Amino acid sequence: MALHVAVPLPRRALVAGAGLLTALGLAAAVALSPPDGGGDAGTAARERLAQVARAQDAWRTGHETYTTRLEDLGLPSRGDLAIVRGDAEGFCAGAHDPGTGAVVFYSSAGGFSAVPCG
């Protein structure tokens, strides 16, 4: 059984701030994205987020919480994919599809969305 160690408030604030900046950056990419050049906008991003969701479910089973680290899930850290929030209540992740310019978010509470979660 894993023990939960409380993280001091300043570190939590730093993590929350970094998550917010990531969400805002991904949201800004939506506004700056070029029009879809064909195909399903965000398909690659949705596939990566679905992979994160499956891995998060497995992680939560063993740890009773979600993680904010792709590495914890056995996924490579990449610039076009980020877990914005992860705690005992749920998680939020965002991905940018470089092929279409689409930005997609996924939350454990609401599923896929073009609106930033966090």
Q: Is the pLDDT of residue 76 over 80?
A: yes
What are the φ/ψ torsions at residue 82 (nearest 5 degrees)?
-145, 145
* Angstrom distance (rounded) from CA 72 to CA 98: 24
Strands 103-107 and 91-96: antiparallel
20-52 residue pLDDT tens:
445 444 444 443 343 343 446 688 899 999 999
* Angstrom distance (rounded) from CA 14 to CA 81: 19
Q: Identify the burial level of 43 via C-beta atoms within 10 angstroms of its C-beta, where 0-12 means exposed, 13-18 middle and 19 or more buried.
A: middle
Single pTM value for the model: 0.66
81-114 residue pLDDT tens:
999 999 999 999 999 998 889 999 999 999 999 9
Res 50: pLDDT = 96
* Angstrom distance (rounded) from CA 112 to CA 105: 6
Res 43: pLDDT = 87
